[in-house]
Amino acid sequence: MGEDSEAEPTIAADDPSDATLLDPAVASSPGTGASDAASAELVSAREVEEIVRTISLYRVIVPLCILTLAALAVSPATLIARVPSAIAVGTSFAVTIALLFVFRDRSRFRLSLVLAHGLLTTVTILTCVVFFGVFSPAIMTVCVGIYFFGQSNAPRHGSTIYATCALGYLTLTVLALVGVVPLDRSVAAIDRPDVAGLAAIAVIAQAILALTFWMAVRSRAATRRAFGQVVRAASKLRERDAVLAEVRADLDVVRRTAEGRYTGRALGDYRVMDIIGRGAMGEVYRATDVSRGRSAALKVLSAASGGDSAYVERFVREARIASSIRSPYCVEIYGTGQTDDGGHYIAMELLEGEDLAEHLRKVHHLEADDVITLVTEIGEALAAGDAAGVVHRDVKPQNVFRLAQPVGARWKILDFGVSKLREAAATLTQGQVIGTPSYMAPEQARGGKVDHRSDVFGLGAVAYRAIAGRPAFTGPDSAATIYNVLYVQTARPGQNVQVPEDVEAVLALALAKDPQRRFQTTPLFAAALRAAYRGELDVAVRESARRLLAAQPWGTDTLAARPRRSWHSLPPPR
């Protein structure tokens, strides 16, 4: 009938206890940390299972009611004897049909309605047991209901149905044994009852009911554990796929050889050695400044780019911008020059260590102290750029460098090649989408106006990657990634690692789609993150994050205004 293929439902709660009825393990879990997202997925999966099981049971009840009514119609018993059972069965039939119609819209599914229907069906079966015979096999039909409710997401509902069945049948057996309920007028009539034998049958029947309930509860517990294991495994796989997607994006910049066209040559005062990096615009060489006796890095514009005046202007512009920024957390620029064949190069400080992207491939995520240091130092560098009128526009793990032997600074920001001078015409990049999609601010992705708050977003995305162990935004291609940046609130940072609630709140504000709702400077972001880790977050900041997440919850599509899994929550196509 098509119900099983519909969108995932939400079981509505009818009272405060229904939150725990859905899954006690979820209700008792901590409010923050790695279990939250997995618990939410577990609840969602069990909600779907509950609805499918209920509809399947109702589809079995309908023909059973019809068969029972047919049996009552042809029974030789008197009309008076058949009427109570016929009324009970007819009522159950009508209610079952009505609920099947109601539950076609899964948003109208109510656990309380299922329980009420279960109690009605139990009373119907007990009424029919009187007609067919208290000690007949008819009582065994309640085992279906006991087993069904014993596996329910609402444990107390299962106990209620079992207790009703057991106590109801116990009442009938006692009344039958003392003669209140006649045994010789039922379909399975007993003219000369053996009281001891019938009592033994009643005890065996009660044992079967209890065993059925016990088996259902144990089966439910095993199913819940299996669901949890599957959800956690799927979550880990999605995390791995997100990291792999980021690694694939880096493959085109992995250096293929240690030698380049300038290796072994002299460029001005510099003796050029091996290549230590390649980029879209050129190559970076290790070099020695012969006149000063110091190591250096030479960034040389590639031959292909050197023939393009726009690339040359952008290359020279990078050196000019970087030189204008004074910060211990920025790479020091020594100067610029030209090669013998007309090429251009920038001489700069040589850094020993690795970029954040490479470091995170080894350690998965950073500890709190490292994250605070990173955001503080890179935030100071970006603030220095802001003071010089510069927006970096490409803050990402590949442009954040971790020094192997820090002296004063642990982290430095790299590559001002796509930076924007706030007051300049910026004709090189005007109207273009410049930057790396996964770490690009929404306004930047639209090709709109950018300012220091765009760098706040980029630093927030870097911090998210360092804390959560996976990118905030990614996808199978650039278009999907940009869509996520523009419209999809990222998944909760504490999905797979323990993250304090206040830290999640700070990240939410740093990654706000609207620049007005972000921290207005990177030092403010760094200060809030420090306070969050210490449990000292300002109440106003916490409230701002609460309002933001109330309007745009983790993992939702803000464009469609409905829950949606972001691309990084889905496995990439194979």
Is 112 a member of any domain?
A: yes
pTM of the model: 0.56
Is 250 a member of any domain?
A: no
Is 551 a member of any domain?
A: yes
**Residue 413 confidence (pLDDT):** 92
pLDDT confidence bin for 415, thresholds 50/70/90 = confident
Give dist(CA 518, CA 453) in Å, integer. Answer: 7
pLDDT confidence bin for 313, thresholds 50/70/90 = confident
Cα dihedral across residues 110, 112, 118, 121: positive or negative: negative
On whether the CB atoms of residues 41 and 8 are closer than 8 A, the answer is no
**Residue 200 confidence (pLDDT):** 93
On whether the CB atoms of residues 511 and 461 are closer than 8 A, the answer is yes
pLDDT confidence bin for 324, thresholds 50/70/90 = confident
Cα dihedral across residues 430, 433, 438, 444: positive or negative: positive
Q: Are residues 194 and 93 in the same domain?
A: yes
- State phi, psi for 379 to the nearest 5 degrees: -60, -40
Q: Is 184 exposed, middle or buried (0-12, 13-18, 19+ CB in 10 A)?
A: exposed
- Strand partners for 294: 289
Q: Are residues 480 and 514 in the same domain?
A: yes
Q: Based on the structure, what is the number of domains in the chain?
A: 3
Active site residue 308: no
Domain boundary among 330, 348, 366: 348
Domain boundary among 348, 378, 395: 348
**Residue 29 confidence (pLDDT):** 38
Mean pLDDT of 327-345: 85
pLDDT confidence bin for 419, thresholds 50/70/90 = low
Q: Are residues 376 and 514 in the same domain?
A: yes
**Residue 246 confidence (pLDDT):** 66
Q: Are residues 102 and 46 in the same domain?
A: yes
Q: Are residues 423 and 545 in the same domain?
A: yes
Q: Are residues 231 and 279 in the same domain?
A: no
Mind listing the pLDDT tens digit for each residue in 263-286?
888 998 999 998 887 766 678 899
Angle between helices 35-74 and 79-102 (to 10 degrees): 150
Q: Helix, strand or coil for residue 507?
A: helix
User: 395, 479, 400, 399: which is closest to 439 by C-alpha?
Assistant: 395
Is 364 a member of any domain?
A: yes
**Residue 164 confidence (pLDDT):** 94
Mean pLDDT of 159-168: 94
On whether the CB atoms of residues 379 and 522 are closer than 8 A, the answer is yes
- Strand partners for 278: 283
Which long-range CB contacts under 8 A does 49-53 form with residues at least 24 apart? 50/11, 50/109, 50/111, 50/152, 50/153, 51/3, 51/9, 51/11, 51/103, 51/106, 51/109, 52/3, 52/4, 53/148, 53/151
Mind listing the pLDDT tens digit for each residue in 371-413?
999 999 999 999 998 888 888 888 999 999 999 887 777 899 9
Give dist(CA 517, CA 355) in Å, integer. Answer: 30
**Who contacts 293 (Cβ-Cβ below 8 Å, separation ≥6)?**
none
Please indicate whether residue 411 or residue 420 has the higher confidence score (pLDDT): 411
**Residue 23 confidence (pLDDT):** 39
Is 3 a member of any domain?
A: no
Q: Which domain holds residue 448?
A: 353-569
pLDDT confidence bin for 544, thresholds 50/70/90 = very high
Mind listing the pLDDT tens digit for each residue in 180-218?
888 888 888 888 888 899 999 999 999 999 999 999 999
Give dist(CA 92, CA 58) in Å, integer. Answer: 10
On whether the CB atoms of residues 506 and 541 are closer than 8 A, the answer is yes
The least confident of 2-11, 181-190, 299-308 is 2-11
User: 478, 479, 474, 451: which is closest to 464 by C-alpha?
Assistant: 474
**Residue 569 predicted with pLDDT over 80:** no
Mind listing the pLDDT tens digit for each residue in 429-484?
444 445 678 899 999 988 888 899 999 999 999 999 999 998 999 888 888 889 99
DSSP class of 532: H
- Strand 266-267, strand 562-563: pairing: unpaired
DSSP class of 13: P
Q: Are residues 378 and 360 in the same domain?
A: yes
Q: Are residues 329 and 396 in the same domain?
A: no
pLDDT confidence bin for 120, thresholds 50/70/90 = very high
**Catalytic choice (241, 355, 386, 394):** 394
3-state helix, strand, coil in the chain (%, to 5): 55, 10, 35
**Residue 417 predicted with pLDDT over 80:** no
On whether the CB atoms of residues 121 and 166 are closer than 8 A, the answer is no
Q: What is the CATH number of the domain that holds 404?
A: 1.10.510.10
Q: Are residues 285 and 391 in the same domain?
A: no
One-character DSSP codes across 469-499: SS-SS--SSHHHHHHHHHHBPPPPGGGSS--
Is 30 a member of any domain?
A: no
Is 289 a member of any domain?
A: yes
Q: Are residues 228 and 303 in the same domain?
A: no
The least confident of 360-364, 416-420, 446-450 is 416-420
Domain boundary among 283, 314, 348: 348
**Residue 34 predicted with pLDDT over 70:** no
**Residue 383 confidence (pLDDT):** 94
Locate 155 and state its tokens: 């444990």
Give dist(CA 366, CA 397) in Å, integer. Answer: 12
Mind listing the pLDDT tens digit for each residue in 12-31?
444 433 333 333 333 333 33
Q: Are residues 235 and 192 in the same domain?
A: yes
**Residue 7 confidence (pLDDT):** 39
Q: What is the CATH number of the domain that holds 285?
A: 3.30.200.20
Mind listing the pLDDT tens digit for each residue in 230-272?
777 777 777 777 777 666 666 544 544 566 788 888 998 999 9
Q: How many CA atoms lie within 13 A of 406 on its CB side?
A: 15
**Average pLDDT score over the chain:** 81
User: 364, 37, 50, 21: which is closest to 231 by C-alpha?
Assistant: 37
On whether the CB atoms of residues 224 and 231 are closer than 8 A, the answer is no
On whether the CB atoms of residues 356 and 400 are closer than 8 A, the answer is yes
The least confident of 5-9, 127-131, 199-203, 520-524 is 5-9
Mean pLDDT of 126-144: 90
Q: How many CB atoms lie within 10 A of CB 370?
A: 17
Is 25 a member of any domain?
A: no
Q: Is 12 exposed, middle or buried (0-12, 13-18, 19+ CB in 10 A)?
A: middle
Locate 218 and state its tokens: 């144990």
**Residue 573 confidence (pLDDT):** 36
Mean pLDDT of 41-47: 63
Q: Are residues 73 and 157 in the same domain?
A: yes
Mean pLDDT of 529-555: 93
Please indicate whether residue 392 or residue 322 has the higher confidence score (pLDDT): 392
